[in-house]
Amino acid sequence: MPIAVSQQQVQPRFTVASQVEVRDAKGQAGVRAKFRNVSLSGCFLETEMPLPENTRVRVLMKALNLHADVWGIVRRCEPAVGMGVQFTNGNTVEDWKRLEQLIEKLETRNGQKTCF
């Protein structure tokens, strides 16, 4: 009997030392966080004050001289540790393109990646 393989595409995750600001969809005060890793599909953010699962968030990132403003949903919350965010879209098409450029730069910069 064949084993079913997940159709979900696995995105490589990259480490990057960068601070980000996370706001909920209501525009409440931002939470400062630090990337643990980032991919085109999402990121894990280290913060002592993670937002609850299923919260729609806006992630404002600055890394490698690129600024991107993307929306996502908190998919994992680890109290006092951080949160996993799945990206859904850029605030603009250009923001999503800048996220893609960031991932490309990280890929060519050092090639350090971990697949999840």
Q: Percent of the chain at pLDDT above 90?
A: 62
pLDDT at 8 over 60: no
Looking at residue 110, its pLDDT comes to: 62
pLDDT of 4 reads 40
Pick 40 or 108 by higher pLDDT.
40
Res. 114 pLDDT band, cuts 50 70 90: very low
C-alpha to C-alpha distance for 43 and 33, rounded to whole angstroms: 11
**Phi and psi for 16 in degrees, rounded to 5?**
-150, 135
Residue-wise pLDDT tens digits, 15-63: 888 899 999 888 776 889 999 999 999 999 999 999 999 999 999 998 8
pTM: 0.83
The C-alpha atoms of residue 19 and residue 61 are separated, in whole angstroms, by 7
Give the number of other Cβ atoms within 10 Å of residue 47's Cβ: 17
| Residues 83-107, mean pLDDT to the nearest whole number | 94
CA atoms within 13 A of residue 26's CA, in its CB half-sphere: 4
DSSP E strands in 1-116: the ranges are 12-13, 19-24, 31-38, 42-46, 56-63, 66-78, 82-90, 114-115
Q: Which residues, in sequence order, are bridge partners of residue 40? A: none
